[in-house]
Every structure is written in C-alpha cells, then in structure tokens.
C-alpha cells in the first residue's frame, strides 16, 4: 500500500511517500480503507521525537491518529462492524509505528464509531482526536446547562469543537483568540475575548459573576490568569500544561472511547456541531500539511485525503 512514513526523527522534510507493507488485522480490529486523516500538533511533535521518552517507537513510522474510511474486513472476533461500514476513529496505540497516513489501516474496534452521514470524509477525519479532546475536557470540568465557560484558543482545532459542544450542552461560552478571529468565534456561538495582557479585566467585564469552568488548549499564562475568576478551582482542565493539577484541576490526554466518539457523531448529525475544515492536502503532500499546522495560525483543522476523497 501507499503511505507516508519516516525512518528517523526530524522536521517535515523527513516524511517520505511510497510503498509500505499492508497492515495485519488482529482479532479485535478491522481493516479500513482510508478516505481521509487529519493533522494534529502531536503528529509533528512525535515526528520530531518529542514523545520518544513516553511511547516506544518502531521505524519506519507511519504518522497519524485520525481516520475516516470504510471497513473492508473485520477481525475474527469483531461483531461491532461489517464490511462496507463507514467509520471514524482515534487510532492511537501505546506504541508509535503504524498510523493512519496510509491507504489502509488496521483499527481496533475500541477506537471506532460510525461516521456522521452529513459531512464529507475530510470533515469527518477532523473529528476524532480534536473532537474527543474537547468532549472529554468539557466533561471533566462538569460543563452543563447554564454554566459560563471560558475556552482558551477558541479558534484552534480543539477549541472550535469545544465551543460548539459546550453550546449544545446549554452553556454560555467565552473564548480567547486574536482580534482577527473574533467574528469567526461569534459564528460558532462564542463571545470573543482577546488573549494576552489585560485578559483578566476583559473576563471581569464579560462575566461579572465569575466563571463556572475553564478549558485550556494552548498553555501559557492566560489560563492561569483566568483562575482568579473561576468559582470552583477544581473546574479547570488543560491539555497543554500539566501544572494544572497543582491548581486542583485536570490534565487531559485524550483517550480512544467509542461511546464518546458516537456521542460526537450524533451531535454532528443533529447539526449542533460542525467540523471546521481549514485546509485539505493530498496524502502525497502530507509534509506541506505538517508545515501548515506548525505555522500555528490554523483556524479549525487540516485534513489529509487519500485518492480523490475529501
């Protein structure tokens, strides 16, 4: 099969496109014909070797944890899916080696849910990691109807999902972004706040009664500054700064969860959540997709499509 892979750590220049062995299907996995994947910051960070101390790596590495595609063959113990089913998945293992930037992937059923019927392959591929991160972080801080929630980095891949999910759950959402993204945040249902110096005063003006929950998707000083306006110090979560635990909050490293992913699919099918597709690259041009993600100014998510899909 054709795939993107790398044989040593480095920047996007180490990515190659060519033949790799076909995946082997374990008893609890399904073989998926990949229609699209998407780029997450963790992909280029792993490629650069940043997670070498945490996850065993087996070269050559095919990057990618997100997938949208069609089941070709179920493993012998699989009853959840059959050939022809359209699925999405956050296909993360405890090792780095066989990812989703390929024509086919063997995906454990514990990572999969059905694809929403009302979005493209490229849009669907942006959902698993970013959507689950948003869903699981909001649940961790107990967001519910009537809450006022502050989302840090609202225009990013996770933030766009978090705003829409929190709104679907009945929350009022404030979100930080640069001024050029304020109208975009409003279109998602959030009240925008400019990040950086003076954020505390802007929070106080927008939420004089304080915040019920804070979710951070960028790190830095802003989430710390927002804690002064949080009613309950335990209701803060960050995916970017493990020091949040010292403040009584939750550090989130997203986990594959088919029930959560199905809940996200149902929100998308209901029209409550819509994937925000920033750009689409072909599999052959995955290195350019990495570079675009590394630029740090992506609004939404970047998809990588296989063949003519998207």
pLDDT digits (tens, 9 = 90+) for 143-189: 999 999 999 999 999 999 999 999 999 999 999 999 999 999 999 99
Please tell me the predicted confidence (pLDDT) of residue 144: 98
pLDDT digits (tens, 9 = 90+) for 62-76: 999 999 999 999 999
Given a contact cutoff of 8 angstroms between Cβ atoms, the answer to whether 261 and 89 are in contact is yes
Please tell me the predicted confidence (pLDDT) of residue 251: 97
pLDDT digits (tens, 9 = 90+) for 190-208: 999 999 999 999 999 999 9
Please tell me the predicted confidence (pLDDT) of residue 297: 81
Cis, bond preceding 73 (omega within 30 deg of 0): no
Domains and CATH numbers, the chain: 2-126+276-305 (3.90.180.10), 130-251 (3.40.50.720)
310 pLDDT more than 70: no
**What are the angstrom distances between the C-alpha of 98 and each of 66, 89, 114, 131, 306?**
12, 14, 22, 22, 16
pLDDT digits (tens, 9 = 90+) for 262-306: 999 999 999 999 999 999 999 999 999 999 999 878 899 999 999
254 pLDDT more than 80: yes
Distance between alpha carbon 281 and the CA centroid of its chain, in Å? 17
Residue 176 bridge partners (DSSP)? 193
């Amino acid at each position: 099969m054709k795939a993107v892979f790398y044989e040593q750590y480095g920047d996007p220049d180490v990515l190659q496109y060519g033949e790799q062995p076909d995946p082997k299907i374990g008893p609890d996995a399904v073989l998926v014909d990949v229609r699209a994947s998407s780029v997450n910051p963790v992909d280029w960070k792993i490629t650069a070797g940043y997670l070498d101390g945490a996850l065993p790596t087996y070269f050559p590495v095919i990057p990618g944890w997100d997938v949208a595609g069609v089941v070709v063959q179920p493993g012998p113990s699989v009853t959840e899916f059959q050939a022809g089913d359209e699925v999405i998945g956050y296909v993360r293992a405890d090792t780095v080696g066989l990812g989703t930037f390929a024509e086919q992937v063997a995906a454990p059923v514990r990572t999969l849910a059905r694809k929403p019927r009302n979005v493209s392959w490229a849009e669907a591929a942006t959902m698993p990691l970013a959507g689950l991160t948003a869903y699981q972080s909001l649940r961790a801080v107990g967001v519910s109807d009537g809450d006022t929630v502050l989302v840090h980095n609202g225009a990013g891949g996770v933030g766009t999902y978090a705003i829409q999910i929190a709104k679907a759950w009945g929350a009022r959402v404030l979100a930080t972004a640069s001024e050029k993204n304020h109208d975009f945040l409003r279109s998602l249902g959030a009240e925008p706040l400019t990040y950086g110096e003076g954020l505390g005063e802007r929070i106080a003006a927008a939420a004089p009664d304080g915040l019920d929950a804070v979710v951070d998707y960028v790190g830095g000083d802003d989430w710390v500054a927002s804690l002064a306006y949080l009613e309950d110090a335990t209701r803060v979560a960050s995916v970017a700064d493990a020091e949040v635990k010292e403040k009584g909050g939750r550090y989130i490293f997203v986990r594959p969860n088919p029930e959560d992913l199905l809940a996200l699919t149902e929100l998308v099918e209901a029209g409550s959540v819509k994937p925000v597709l920033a750009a689409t690259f072909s599999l052959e041009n995955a290195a350019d997709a990495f570079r675009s993600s590394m630029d740090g100014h992506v609004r939404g998510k970047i998809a990588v499509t296989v063949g003519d899909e998207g």
